[in-house]
């Protein structure tokens, strides 16, 4: 069995690969460009085929989905995703990859036996369907928050010019009446050569 530690970044991954004896047999940085990644994983799969497969470990981040899917496609025996260790001093990509790989190798027997690994705050990622639902929910929450910010800005500007009292509705700024009224307010301000405040 081979053991792969990955330190993931936007433009590259730093890897540390060990054999069953714990010897480091490969280290380095691989670009996240498709050709470089495909070449690395193709060689890894071929190499792991002679060693009864491989396990992998990496820290969770905001853009790890593609890596998890890639490891699954390469038939990784065990994918361990953990919380990042922000307490470590003198952090470098190579040291992080080495530490992750060492942690994986030390827990190899427990992982094979289905036991809880030691010293690992493991995360179980949702399946594809749940991940899509969560993404949609998070996007909706973000858009609602943005809409609220914009409404509050418009409300603040109207109060600044003592115009909120003229609004058809002082509580529901998304109504058609309010939108038409705001458009007229903007047109009037433009005609008077006043800076277009309400569109910012």
Q: Are 110 and 118 in contact (CB under 8 A)?
A: yes
At residue 130, the pLDDT reads 67
Residue 58 and residue 149 in one domain: no
Query: How many domains does the chain contain in total?
Result: 2
Predicted confidence (pLDDT) per residue in 177-198, tens digit:
888 888 877 765 554 544 444 4
196, part of any domain: no
Q: Are 100 and 55 in contact (CB under 8 A)?
A: no
Predicted confidence (pLDDT) per residue in 7-44, tens digit:
999 999 999 999 999 999 999 999 999 999 999 999 99
Residue 134 and residue 118 in one domain: no
Distances, alpha carbon 151 to alpha carbons 2, 20, 134, 180, 187, in Å: 55, 60, 26, 15, 19
Distance CA 190, CA 193 (A): 5
Predicted confidence (pLDDT) per residue in 109-159, tens digit:
999 998 888 888 787 766 667 667 767 878 888 888 888 888 888 778 888
Residue 53 and residue 148 in one domain: no
Q: In terms of residue numbers, what domain contains 78?
A: 2-123
Residue 13 and residue 99 in one domain: yes
- Can you tell me the mean pLDDT for 53-57? 96
Q: Domain end: 103, 123, 143, which one?
A: 123
* Count of Cβ atoms closer than 10 Å to residue 59 Cβ: 18
Which residues have CB under 8 Å from 75's CB, separation 6+? 45, 53
Residue with tokens 């792969």: 4
Instruction: Please give the residue that has the higher pLDDT: either 48 or 126.
Output: 48
- Can you tell me the mean pLDDT for 59-68? 88
26, part of any domain: yes
CATH number at residue 97: 3.30.420
At residue 126, the pLDDT reads 62
Residue 112 and residue 167 in one domain: no
* Per-residue three-class SS string for 23-88: CEEEEEEEECCHHHHHHHHHHHHHHHHCCCCEEEEEECCCCCHHHHHHHHHCCCCEEEEECCCCCC
Average pLDDT in the chain: 84
Residue 139 and residue 165 in one domain: yes
Residue 87 and residue 159 in one domain: no
Distance CA 145, CA 73 (A): 37
Q: Domain end: 123, 151, 169, which one?
A: 123
pTM exceeds cut of 0.85: no
Residue 154 and residue 57 in one domain: no
**Residue 175 binned pLDDT confidence (cut-offs 50, 70, 90):** confident
At residue 200, the pLDDT reads 42
Bridge partners, residue 2, by sequence: 54
Residue 25 and residue 51 in one domain: yes
């Amino acid at each position: 069995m081979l053991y792969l530690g990955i330190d993931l970044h936007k433009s590259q991954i730093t890897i540390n690969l060990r054999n069953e004896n714990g010897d480091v047999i490969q280290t380095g940085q691989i670009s996240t460009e498709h050709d470089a990644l495909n070449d690395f994983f193709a060689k890894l799969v071929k190499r792991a085929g002679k060693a009864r497969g491989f396990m992998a470990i990496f820290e969770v981040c905001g853009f790890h989905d593609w890596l998890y899917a890639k490891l699954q496609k390469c038939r990784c025996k065990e994918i361990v995703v953990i919380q990042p260790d922000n307490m470590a001093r003198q952090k470098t990509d190579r040291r992080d990859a080495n530490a992750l790989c060492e942690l994986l190798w030390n827990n190899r027997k427990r992982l094979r036996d289905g036991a809880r690994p030691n010293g690992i705050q493991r995360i179980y990622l949702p399946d594809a369907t749940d991940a899509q639902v969560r993404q949609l929910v998070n996007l909706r929450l973000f858009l609602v928050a943005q809409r609220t910010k914009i409404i509050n800005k418009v409300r603040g500007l109207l109060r600044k010019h003592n115009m909120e009292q003229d609004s058809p509705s002082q509580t529901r700024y998304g109504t058609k009446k309010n939108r038409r009224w705001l458009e007229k307010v903007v047109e009037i301000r433009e005609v008077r050569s006043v800076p277009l405040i309400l569109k910012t």
